[in-house]
Structure 1
């Protein structure tokens, strides 16, 4: 086997938008930051806080109702772990990390045990799925010791799942060893899972005989709801109504609503489709904007609906936010089209001061946008069922960041501005099916891969994870811009005007620019209190605990990229310690850190370890010869993506 870099599935899906697919001349986030932070890049600590008043306008300052407090003690009380890379996971001293659910674990009382040598689609549909991403905890009767875990299964790695296969999506192999049986297993390993869990005698357990447990796959029937439901562009031979689709794919991050439903988000759906439409086909420009044309899976070889030459409308039925009721295993999942069609990273929301629900959304591709959706109706806290259509009516907005530290939310509503029939939008359905093109025309700000976005209910600030953008060129930025070739990403903090998340204006600030601050050319801006173990690159997901503290998980650190594994970091957002980061957990070789989620009492932290052994250098990692056999470390077991439970030894709150 050649000693050459493995072609990573995650990287391939991300790189489908390398250039990216955004052809507009809209300002990049880099150009905006450059204009704003020309004189402020060297400021740190209290000097940076003081500089805000000199740099922001009065309107921006007014939007930040709770300015940072000076002189605060550190928020996080734990001994930082060492950064590095090896075959296993590491957690801060004084904490236990329990593997709760692994790929293939049975989640029903009658489900078969995992046998990687005789797997089938039927078995997989009764077992925990593959690459674990978003994790949400929904209490049962308000308990922090008994609840439902909802988990996304984003994608599959055939070379790590199946014996004798190796990497199949390279040009020289072209899926030659993939069979329909293997594809069907992959489809069953996608989607998500609902699992009842309970803490007994200090240890978390899966309740296998639970009436709530459920697997959702790429074949699960789902309803299409909202303005795009039933539109001609949503109809196929198998579904002439345009209102029913099978499955969800590439579900990345997500959210949990106040009424206890799970929002699961389809991200890189483009990689699942074979074939192409003619250049003069009505959907040709639409599909180019979403990056179709380079399949990462063999599904279209065996299932006509994933071949656009045979079902040209099928891709329009993917790329949505899916709402699922975890308390009803018969509930038909709903693709809520009012929230737009993009490569959704997540859908985290907050109940606004007027009772409406606001969902923040990132479109995870280089040079794409930040969105929010504001419901027309209000959250009904007395009648849970009354909220189940709330996400079908409302207004979708896209963000424009101004150089003076203010921002605008531009509405994506048919008939407003350029969103007219003259530009190809005949209805709101067209606007939502082609959300990216609508945002292009409105003049939204190009961003550096917007991933997870979370609103902090304690402060009303909103945090945007911008993972990286190595395709931003020097000529696109001012010399004082944070970075061209932004390999390490940054985090933007947004403050809605008057604390109103439905407001059409906001203030914004760069919280940190990521990377190693000891390397001057990197241009990182962590606080000087951050240690050599505390800095991170490539922020991806984030969580805000019940104390209002920010936790960051990463995707892209590796022995090759940074000399350290991905993991979880605690990041200070207030006072003189603002921008100080501490290292709490790290994943095994080749893995990505996903799904940080706390129980309401902050005494349990759930983490998802995705694609362990998916290395970016050396010999390709395979089923027979993985870079790590985490978490089982048995010769007869492959590496297995898993969900972990972190608890404090002796009890108490995390950190």
Structure 2
């Protein structure tokens, strides 16, 4: 087996190749590690274990909105005390339908006509933090229904204060809740298939997402299997059983939510097809509360972490996606049609026709996007190398995308989380959060027992997102500075860093500032095999090739959904599942911890 150090070295581009990957206007500034003066203007904080939020000197944070806060009427709020005492009622369920949901993940701010419309995903629920401990695994009907309605998304208009912080506009016509019971339409190649149908009841486990150029949001259904229970052996169709097992249906978490005990559609014994209605990218229109959510099946079905859009030079739109599970794959979808910047409505079906690809990484630091299937004028053309079952039923490529991708030899990655297009470097940054089950390293996933995670940069041929070949490198191997174990050492662009550099692990969601620096939110620092400190937000300075820590969250949480306003004066992020594991009670304003959205600004009001 090749030594880990050799693998890491081979995963770094040469200086010549690196310069070829950098836009000319940056090369003109000097090239290499001194392209411009430093653009990350703050002193790094240190990781900690406080049950609070820490930001650098010169910054301050403010709560924007939290679980159970009102969206439509000020007096309408969740009664946390009643839930904790086991007295959840149908009234509480109705209130949850109209108030901010639980475990906020993605944050997307749409700036429209001098308004700020925020879309937030609600991924899952922590009943152990909310309901009586003795109810865990045995929720009442009302508790199960409240959890169902706490999922989905919240759309809320924000008012920007004079200091550039935000607060919600309660009662705005833009405000909206989409939940686990909201009717969604199904479009694209899987529509009408006997497994899928043409509509779905609800959207669940909405993790990260993306914003389209026409101002909609692509929310991603990730661990949808968590809600399905029942006996898999009672499913009569062999293929259906095989696909379910590939996606983890039924799940050991089903008893935690209890949906299948009260709703037949979540019991695979009674409805073997219901789970096929989940695992999709769902398009939401924040500017039109009357437009139904639409599950876009041409983007494939898997445990979607993100759906990042970029307009190619041709005018086609490319959507990058990760399947967030160990040994799963990276994907992209290229639309057949072109983005219309003049007529917004002309883009509303753009994601129903095009080509779905999966990534293969090669040892020579190149890779290719392998076509899975192409959809045009209602017809599906599949890769001729696919097994016969996909040729006989082409829609299965989109329903069982995992199976199709694996059969074509797609590279098995270390939990592909976020995948974001950097508009400054004109490259794709793909996050591998960790994979502690990997025993055989390879160049694109170079660590065995990858406890710490890493980030790839993918440079499409000619910097064109529609290209089918690319080169790649690893700018960040997460870990601890100068750790003696090479599988746990922090390397920035392949170089060791000083001991005063903050350790980082489990990168999750990323975004970019106006200079193209990479802002990284983490999910797993606290784990005993990693850092045993709170999760936070870090910044990879692509010019100085250095790493700083910008924010540390409260105990038990993960940080996700990093987002800048267009003027870069406000940074937003989500504090998801604070207190998980019984470690804290942030934000200390209720009898239970409250997942929330916060914003961070400079005290002097200048750009971050």
TM > 0.5 between the two? yes
In 1, distance between residues paired with 2:393 and 2:444? Answer: 43
Q: Deviations over 1:415-439 (max 9, x none)?
A: 323225x234423311100000110
Aligned to 1:151: 120
Pick one of 219, 232, 248 that aligns with 1:291. Answer: 248
Pick one of 347, 365, 368 that aligns with 1:405. Answer: 365
User: In the TM superposition, what is the alpha-carbon distance from 1:320 to its structure 2 partner?
Assistant: 0.2
In 1, distance between residues paired with 2:144 and 2:21? Answer: 51
Work out whether residues 64 and 498 of structure 1, in 8 Å CA contact, stay in contact via their aligned partners in 2. no
In 2, distance between residues paired with 1:165 and 1:214? Answer: 33
Asked if residue 306 in structure 1 is aligned to residue 257 in structure 2, the reply is no
2:195 aligned counterpart, secondary structure: helix
What RMSD, in angstroms, separates the aligned Cα atoms of the two structures? Answer: 2.2
Aligned to 1:384: 344
In 2, distance between residues paired with 1:100 and 1:65? Answer: 37
In 1, distance between residues paired with 2:259 and 2:460? Answer: 43
Work out whether residues 196 and 210 of structure 1, in 8 Å CA contact, stay in contact via their aligned partners in 2. yes
Asked if residue 222 in structure 1 is aligned to residue 184 in structure 2, the reply is yes
Asked if residue 267 in structure 1 is aligned to residue 222 in structure 2, the reply is yes
| Higher strand proportion (structure 1 or 2) | 2
User: In the TM superposition, what is the alpha-carbon distance from 1:535 to its structure 2 partner?
Assistant: 2.7
**Farther off after superposition, 66-75 or 341-350:** 66-75
Change (3 A) 1:230 1:603: same
User: In the TM superposition, what is the alpha-carbon distance from 1:110 to its structure 2 partner?
Assistant: 5.8
2:76 aligned counterpart, secondary structure: coil
Between 1 and 2, higher relative CO (CA 8 Å, sep ≥ 6) is seen in 1
Work out whether residues 482 and 499 of structure 2, in 8 Å CA contact, stay in contact via their aligned partners in 1. no
Q: Deviations over 1:17-50 (max 9, x none)?
A: xxxxxxxxxxxxxx9xx6997275499xxxx66x
Aligned to 2:159: 198
Aligned to 2:32: 69
Aligned to 2:602: 648
Asked if residue 445 in structure 1 is aligned to residue 411 in structure 2, the reply is yes
Aligned to 2:401: 435
Pick one of 131, 144, 150 that aligns with 1:183. Answer: 144
Asked if residue 546 in structure 1 is aligned to residue 510 in structure 2, the reply is no
Change (3 A) 1:494 1:230: same
Change (3 A) 1:76 1:271: same
User: In the TM superposition, what is the alpha-carbon distance from 1:613 to its structure 2 partner?
Assistant: 0.8
2:474 aligned counterpart, secondary structure: strand
Q: Name structure 2 gaps, 5 residues minimum.
A: 83-87, 374-380
Aligned to 2:386: 419
Asked if residue 629 in structure 1 is aligned to residue 590 in structure 2, the reply is no
User: In the TM superposition, what is the alpha-carbon distance from 1:114 to its structure 2 partner?
Assistant: 2.7
In 2, distance between residues paired with 1:338 and 1:451? Answer: 20
In 2, distance between residues paired with 1:277 and 1:562? Answer: 38
User: In the TM superposition, what is the alpha-carbon distance from 1:478 to its structure 2 partner?
Assistant: 6.8
Asked if residue 358 in structure 1 is aligned to residue 318 in structure 2, the reply is yes
Q: Deviations over 1:563-610 (max 9, x none)?
A: 321110010224xx32x1100001101000000000000001111000
In 2, distance between residues paired with 1:629 and 1:195? Answer: 25
Aligned to 1:140: 112
Work out whether residues 277 and 283 of structure 1, in 8 Å CA contact, stay in contact via their aligned partners in 2. no
2:47 aligned counterpart, secondary structure: coil
Pick one of 91, 94, 98 that aligns with 1:126. Answer: 98
**Farther off after superposition, 184-193 or 453-462:** 453-462
Q: Name structure 1 gaps, 5 residues minimum.
A: 1-30, 169-174, 235-241, 616-620, 622-626
Change (3 A) 1:509 1:544: same
In 2, distance between residues paired with 1:71 and 1:479? Answer: 27
In 1, distance between residues paired with 2:294 and 2:262? Answer: 26
Aligned to 1:316: 276
2:98 aligned counterpart, secondary structure: coil
**How many residues get paired?**
576
Work out whether residues 38 and 480 of structure 1, in 8 Å CA contact, stay in contact via their aligned partners in 2. no
Work out whether residues 417 and 433 of structure 2, in 8 Å CA contact, stay in contact via their aligned partners in 1. yes
Change (3 A) 1:559 1:410: closer
Work out whether residues 4 and 447 of structure 2, in 8 Å CA contact, stay in contact via their aligned partners in 1. no
**Farther off after superposition, 591-600 or 77-86:** 77-86
User: In the TM superposition, what is the alpha-carbon distance from 1:179 to its structure 2 partner?
Assistant: 1.1
User: In the TM superposition, what is the alpha-carbon distance from 1:135 to its structure 2 partner?
Assistant: 0.2
2:32 aligned counterpart, secondary structure: coil
